């Protein structure tokens, strides 16, 4: 991993359980493998105490990451989630630092595009409605929503749904 990041300038994306691995290693939000402390950001059990499998509204908060660089900041996407341990938690000071650094990539939002703590829109009750974060340089991206579960012909009965093609951004990064 270190060689991929420091010598080859590669990209890493972790979706759902992959996000859990990235955050437990420290790759997000720190950009390197490091020992976690008691107050380090983490993912834990949804507050309802069970698995959630629904479509959620998300918003691009920062497109600083190569994964999101081709997407418009503020754009909203409906994406599937499916997890029992997807609640992002961190101290408010850390979350504010992540926001200031452009590392909060995506948030759960309501129908009007506002970050929401309402369980109908933020089904795991993530702090500050955080759905996805990046490393400081944006090359490592972790999120709970399953972009890979979207394909042409799926979800045709959902008004306004469109593909949030994060993989196109990754391909563009390598030219």
Mean pLDDT of 70-77: 97
Q: What is the pLDDT of residues 85-143, one digit of tens each?
A: 999 999 999 999 999 999 999 999 999 999 999 999 999 999 999 999 999 999 999 99
| Candidates 3.90.650.10, 3.40.50.300, 3.40.50.880, 3.30.43.10; CATH matching 2-173 | 3.40.50.880
Mean pLDDT of 26-39: 95
Tell me how far apart the alpha carbons of residues 99 and 73 are, in angstroms, rounded to a whole number. 13
Mean pLDDT of 46-56: 94
Confidence of residue 45 (pLDDT cuts 50, 70, 90): very high
For all residues of the chain together, what is the average pLDDT?
96
Is the pTM higher than 0.85? The answer reads yes
Tell me: pLDDT of 150 over 90: no
Tell me: pLDDT of 160 over 90: no
Give domain limits for the chain. Answer: 2-173
């Amino acid at each position: 991993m270190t060689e991929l990041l420091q010598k080859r300038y590669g990209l890493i994306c972790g979706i759902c359980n992959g996000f859990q691995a990235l955050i437990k290693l420290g790759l997000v939000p720190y950009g390197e493998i490091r020992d976690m402390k008691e107050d380090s950001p983490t993912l834990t059990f949804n507050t309802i105490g069970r698995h959630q499998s629904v479509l959620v509204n998300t918003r691009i908060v920062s497109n600083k990451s190569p994964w999101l660089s081709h997407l418009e900041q503020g754009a909203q996407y409906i994406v599937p989630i499916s997890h029992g341990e997807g609640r992002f938690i961190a101290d408010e000071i850390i979350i504010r630092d992540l926001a200031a650094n452009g590392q909060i990539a995506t948030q759960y939002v309501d129908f009007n595009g506002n970050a929401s703590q309402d369980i109908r829109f933020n089904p795991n009750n993530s702090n500050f409605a955080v759905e996805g974060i990046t490393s400081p340089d944006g090359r490592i991206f972790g999120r709970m929503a399953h972009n890979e579960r979207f394909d042409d012909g799926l979800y045709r009965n959902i008004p306004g749904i469109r593909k949030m093609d994060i993989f196109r951004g990754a391909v563009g990064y390598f030219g």
